[in-house]
């Protein structure tokens, strides 16, 4: 079910994403799926799209701070490449669930690339450009929204990285 101005989401976290998308005129793109979209495979199955077209919002920790990698659903993040892309000097490590929630305002499984309490250093997997349309989490395991690779780059101000998620 797509959300429009007459549809009130059930989840405050989805409302935050909706508000973050509003400046781009994309607040009504959010789709609530009948089943969970907690994993890229689940989201792709629910949407009928390739797993690679799902944007995974991955949070890592470096020197006590959260950093984010936006990676294609069919790829894994290379943390050494993430460290290089963000100029960290060394690879970050996977963030704890507590840091994810604190830094993004979302629980793991519904982390959106938008609507965080503050700006996070962010790298974007350039392999996402191979898809005409992408889908990212919208703040809840059942909520996603479509966007293009160019919109993802522009709206997140993330740094594109060619080696962030090498082909497996």
Q: Residue 15 corresponds to which tokens in the numbers above?
A: 């409302």
| CB atoms near residue 112 (< 10 Å) | 26
Tokens 């944007």, located at residue:
55
pLDDT-derived band of residue 3, with 50, 70 and 90 as boundaries? low
Residue 93 within any structural domain of the chain:
yes
- Which pLDDT value is given to residue 1? 53
Of 123, 115, 117, nearest to 92 by C-alpha is 123
First to last CA, the chain: 33
Count of domains in the chain?
Answer: 1
Residue 6 belongs to some domain of the structure: no
CATH number at residue 74: 3.90.960.10
Domain span including residue 51: 12-161
Model confidence pLDDT, tens digit, residues 147-168: 999 999 999 999 999 999 998 7
156: Cβ–Cβ under 8 A, 6 or more apart, which residues? 70, 113, 114, 122, 124
pTM for the model stands at 0.92
The number of C-alpha atoms within 13 Å of 37 and in the hemisphere containing its C-beta is: 32
Integer Cα distance of 100 and 68 in angstroms:
10
The structure tokens listed for 130 are: 């191979």
With residue 84 as reference, give the H or E element that holds it.
Answer: helix 79-85
pLDDT digit string, tens, across residues 86-95 = 999 999 999 9
In the prediction, which pLDDT does 101 show? 96
pLDDT at 9 over 60: no
Per-residue pLDDT at 158: 96
92 lies in a domain? Answer: yes
Is residue 4 assigned to a domain?
no
């Amino acid at each position: 079910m797509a959300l429009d101005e007459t549809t009130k989401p059930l989840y405050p976290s989805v409302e935050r994403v909706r508000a973050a998308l509003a400046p781009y005129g994309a607040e009504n793109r959010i789709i609530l799926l009948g089943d969970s979209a907690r994993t890229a495979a689940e989201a792709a199955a629910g949407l009928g799209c390739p797993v690679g077209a799902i944007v995974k919002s991955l949070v890592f920790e470096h020197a006590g701070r959260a950093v984010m990698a936006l990676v294609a659903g069919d790829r894994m993040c290379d943390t050494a490449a993430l460290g290089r892309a963000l100029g960290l000097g060394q690879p970050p490590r996977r963030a704890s669930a507590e840091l994810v929630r604190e830094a993004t305002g979302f629980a793991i499984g519904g982390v959106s690339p938008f609507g965080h309490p503050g700006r996070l250093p962010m790298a974007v997997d350039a392999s996402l450009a191979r898809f005409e349309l992408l889908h990212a989490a919208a703040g809840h395991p059942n909520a996603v929204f479509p966007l293009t690779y160019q919109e993802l780059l522009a709206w997140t101000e993330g740094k594109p990285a060619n080696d962030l998620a090498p082909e497996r």
